Structure 1
Amino acid sequence: MIEANELTKRYGSTAAVNGLTFTVRPGHVTGFLGPNGAGKSTTLRMILGLNDPTSGTVTVDGRSFRDRPRGLRHVGGLLDAADVHGGRSARAHLTLLARSNRLPVSRVADVLEEVGLTEVARRRIGGYSLGMKQRLGIATALLGDPPVLLFDEPLNGLDPEGVMWVRRLFRRLAAEGRTVFVSSHLMSEMENTADHLVVIGRGELIADEPLAAFSARGTRLSVTVRTPDPAGLAAVLISEGAAVERDEPETLTVTGLSSDRIGEIAFEHRVLLRELATRTASLEDAFMELTADSVEYLAGDRR
């Protein structure tokens, strides 16, 4: 279990993380979400003792990670798959880590097989693709067979088969009763993998709740309408207070009115409808809506 209590990290007058309090429990895949610059990587680094908090605490199973002399037995982490000596082989890299953490060297072969790198284990890491380096990073996290695992953007560079493998791996690890904490910007993967979410923005907590509950907080349900008279229908819908966007020549996306009300308005004005479908809220919809005020960098921003 990971417990953060009023965790704060300041760089001068800037608070990268500000008063974060949350708990990551075993038996679940917990997604860690936030816009770019939200403080996710800084938080993960503080959990692993790589950055000192300005104030507050964070513990793993009741102790600071720095208080564990053989850390890989307790916590496995992948923060940057490229941060590894390119001149070593995967086997040599993992063997050094196993010996320094007093782990059985037999674990090296086990994790290489687990991540699918056995055939290339003696090749230099510098020649690996990004996807292969991600697999090596996951192997490193698994090396000590730890009860707590942290992964920062573990899907970068993986092909579709690799993404499916990681999804199954995380679910299996959680089913074994481990604590699995995953930071990712891929909403579709979090929707398919995570049970619980911790969401932050500008270093502060926005949500700490089950994925389904967070997704349901998105209020901007939209209705897709297809009609041969999109301009005429858009005009009357806007007069009724709806927001209307034209997606294709005959297709509108409408928010602010229910599909039933849109159908009634179209009938009243004798506008033919060819499609009327409600689009339910997704994780991405809820995330974009609930973090809108926490986005630090906006495309096209002229401020």
Structure 2
Amino acid sequence: MIEVNELTKRYGAVTAVNGLTFTVRPGRVTGFLGPNGAGKSTTMRMILGLNRPTSGSATIDGHPFDRHKAGLRHAGALLDAGDVHGGRTAAAHLHALARGNGLPRRRVAEVLEEVGLAGVARRRIAGFSLGMRQRLGIAAALLGDPPVLLFDEPVNGLDPEGVRWVRGLFRRLAAEGRTVLVSSHLMSEMENTADHLVVIGRGELIAAQALAAFAARGAGASVTVRTPDPDGLTAVLTPEGAAVRPADGRALTVTGLSAARIGELAHQHRIMLYELAPRTASLEQAFMELTADRADYRADSRADSWADSRADYRADSRAGDRR
């Protein structure tokens, strides 16, 4: 289990992580989300003892990671797939890690086989693609067969087969009772992989809850209702606080009321329903809405802003030519 308590990290006047508290429990995949610059990587580095917190604490199974002897037996991590010596072979890189952590040599062959790199064990890492480096980083994380695993953007550079393999790996590790924390900016991957989410913005906690519950917080959650009497149903639902807008045909899109409540009201007022279908908000919708004021780097959302600026530039250029 990973426990983070009032964790804070400052770099001079900049606060990267501010009073962060959350728990990552075993037996499930926990997604770690936040906009660019939110403090995710800094937090993971503090959990692993690579950065020292300004205040607060981060522990693995009740102890700071740097107090665990033979650390890879307690926690494995992939933080930066490019942070390896390119002149070494894949096997040599893992053998060095195994020796430093008192692990048997056979583990090197086992993890290389598990991640699909057994056939390139003697190749130098400098010649590896990004996807191959990611697999090597995952092999290093698995080397000590640890109960706790952390992965920072693990699917970068992986082909579709590799992405599917990683999803299955994370689910299997969680099913074995391990603690799995996965940081990613890909919402589709979190929807397909995570059971629980920890969401931060500007170094502060936004949410720590089940993925489905977080997605439901988005305004995109709605109910599609099809009825022969859309005007009558609208008149019934609106006083109950629902927002109702027409959809195709005789369908309505309703927000603000659950499908069960809509069904109850329709029954009470003897309004026939042909369809009553809840539409769950996507994780991406909820994430964008709930982190909108916590993003340090955001492009101009106006669709024509770039076109406008180019038009202004061309106009200025023509005016300059005439002068």
Bin for the TM-score computed over the shorter chain: 0.7 to 0.9
What amino acid maps onto 1:86 in structure 2?
G
Gaps of 5+ in 2: 225-242, 246-252, 258-276, 303-323
Amino acid at match of 2:285: D
Mapped to 2, the partners of 1:71 and 1:183 lie a distance apart of 21
Higher CA-based Rg? 2
- Structure 2 counterparts to residues 40-119 of structure 1, below 5 A: 40-119=40-119
Call closer, same or farther: CA 1:51–1:301 in 2, change over 3 Å: farther
Q: Which residue type is aligned with residue 145 of structure 2?
A: D
Unaligned runs of 5+ in 1: 225-241, 245-253, 259-276
Distance apart, 1:279 and its partner CA: 5.2
Contact 1:220 1:255 in 2 (8 A): no
Q: Are 2:221 and 2:280, in contact at CA under 8 Å, matched by a contact in 1?
A: yes
1:243-278 CA-partner distances (Å, limit 9, x unpaired): x9xxxxxxxxx99799xxxxxxxxxxxxxxxxxx98
Residue 172 of structure 1 corresponds to: 172
Aligned to 1:273: none
Distance in structure 1 (CA, Å) of the matches to 2:143 and 2:50: 19
| Cα deviation code 1:136-190 (max 9, x no counterpart) | 0000000000000000000000000000000000000000000000000110110
CA gap 1:255/1:36 in 2 versus in 1, 3 angstroms = farther
Matches of 2:42 and 2:2, distance apart in 1? 15
Q: Which secondary structure state, in structure 2, belongs to the residue aligned with residue 77 of structure 1?
A: strand
1:280 Cα deviation after fit: 3.3
Q: Is the 8 A contact 1:197 1:207 kept in 2?
A: yes
Counterpart for residue 197 of structure 2: 197
Distance 1:171 1:108 in 2: 22
Task: Indicate the residue corresponding to 1:247 in structure 2.
Answer: none
Query: Counterpart of 1:148 in structure 2: which amino acid?
Result: V
Tell whether the 8 Å contact from 2:7 to 2:20 is kept in structure 1 after alignment: yes
Q: Does 1:212 align with 2:198?
A: no
Any conservation in 2 of the 1:111–1:143 contact (CA below 8 Å)?
yes
Q: Is the 8 A contact 1:218 1:285 kept in 2?
A: yes
Structure 2 distance, partners of 1:81, 1:301, is 32
8 Å CA contact retained: 2:72, 2:143: yes
Residue 300 of structure 1: how far off its partner (Å): 2.6
Match in the other structure for 2:305? none
- Deviation of 1:12 after TM superposition, in Å, equals 1.0
**Displacement after TM superposition at 1:14 (Å):** 1.4
Partner in structure 2 of residue 135 of structure 1? 135
Alignment of 1:195-274 (within 5 A): 195-221=195-221
- How much does 1:301 deviate? 8.0
What is the Cα-based RMSD across aligned positions, in Å? 2.7
For residues 166 and 223 of structure 1, what CA distance do their matches in structure 2 show? 34
Q: What is the CA–CA distance in structure 1 between the aligned matches of 2:60 and 2:87, rounded to whole Å?
A: 33
Specify the SS of the correspondent of 1:52: coil
**What corresponds to 1:31 in structure 2?**
31
State how far apart, in whole Å, the 2-side matches of 1:256 and 1:24 are. Answer: 33
Mean alpha-carbon deviation: is it higher for 123-132 or for 278-287?
Answer: 278-287
Q: Name 1:284's counterpart in structure 2.
A: 284
2:263 alignment partner in structure 1: none
Whole-angstrom distance in 1 between the partners of 2:199 and 2:254: 25
* TM-score, length-scaled by structure 2: 0.77
Equivalent residues of 1:73, 1:146 under 8 A apart: yes
CA distance, structure 2, for counterparts of residue 34 and residue 201 of structure 1: 5
Residue 125 of structure 2: aligned partner:
125
User: 107-116 or 214-223: which moved more?
Assistant: 214-223
C-alpha contact (below 8 Å) 2:72/2:141 kept by paired residues: yes
SS at structure 2 position matched to 1:102: coil
